[in-house]
Amino acid sequence: MISYYVIQAAGEGRRHPSVFPVLQHRRENQTALKESVGQIHLRKQRTTKSRDQSWIVRRLGENMSSDEDVAAASRHIHFIGKKENIIQARRVVKSVGERDILVIYHQGDFYAIDVRCYHSGGPLQEGDIEDFDGRTCIVCPWHKYKITLAEGEGLYQAVDPSVKPLKPTWCSKGIKQRVHSVTVSNEDVFLTLNDSPGPIDSDHYQTEKYRNTFLKDGQKKTK
């Protein structure tokens, strides 16, 4: 509490001029205190972030020689959840590094893939998983596009009219869906984002503009 005395002048209460330096000094001290608290809070955030990064790297069994190595590795490695929980759920959708990722557990293997189909943004978490030509694929629920879980290739059937009798064969369109790496360590599941250069078709549906529109519409896009 600031104490000062008041003198009566022309019927008005006025602060004595001698109190002004005291008030100014008090305000400067308060400002300095706020700045100190802010700096302490920022240092705490940085310390917590560094501790989290080191924890992730240690759990993965990496031997990093410097803080720069730790930071570089942890920028791409993300904790997804406990192994038993993901196995039980079978499918989980996570927002990781500004991407929406579908993590799948299927027949003993973990897969990670961009959640929206490269063709029209369909919700792959609602698609069926089937084998086509010996390759495990997820089928988009909107237009039945087949995508290999391991590579992200788009598959389709084609017929060679010169071959009799006509027989459809499975062919690849190339990589259309960005897939990511999943690592299991000490019953924890981690994801490493695929940041390979060059555009992949599913990247279009990971842009901020589309993600905001997609969430706003509540996945009510018509087929």
Give residue 223's pLDDT.
45
Domain ranges of the chain: 1-75, 79-217
Give residue 107's pLDDT.
96
Give residue 93's pLDDT.
96
Give residue 15's pLDDT.
46
Give residue 34's pLDDT.
56
Give residue 47's pLDDT.
45
24 vs 2, 5, 16, 28, CA distance in Å?
11, 16, 14, 6
Give residue 222's pLDDT.
43
Give the CATH number of domain 79-217; options: 3.90.380.10, 1.10.10.60, 2.40.40.20, 2.102.10.10. Answer: 2.102.10.10
Give residue 211's pLDDT.
74
Minimal CA–CA distance to 134: which of 172, 179, 173, 92?
Answer: 172
Give residue 141's pLDDT.
97
- Residue 166 has a CB neighbour count (10 Å cut-off) of 9
pLDDT tens digits for 155-208?
Answer: 999 999 988 899 999 999 999 999 999 999 999 999 999 999 999 999 999 988
Do residues 89 and 186 lie in contact, with contact meaning Cβ atoms separated by under 8 Å? no
Q: How far is CA 221 from the centre of its chain?
A: 23
Give residue 186's pLDDT.
94
Distance CA 101, CA 126 (A): 13
Distance CA 86, CA 106 (A): 10
Ranges of residues in the chain with a pLDDT under 50 are 1-20, 22-23, 37, 41, 44-54, 63-64, 221-223
Residue in the structure block whose two tokens are 């909107």: 142
| Cα angle 38, 78, 39; round to 5 | 10
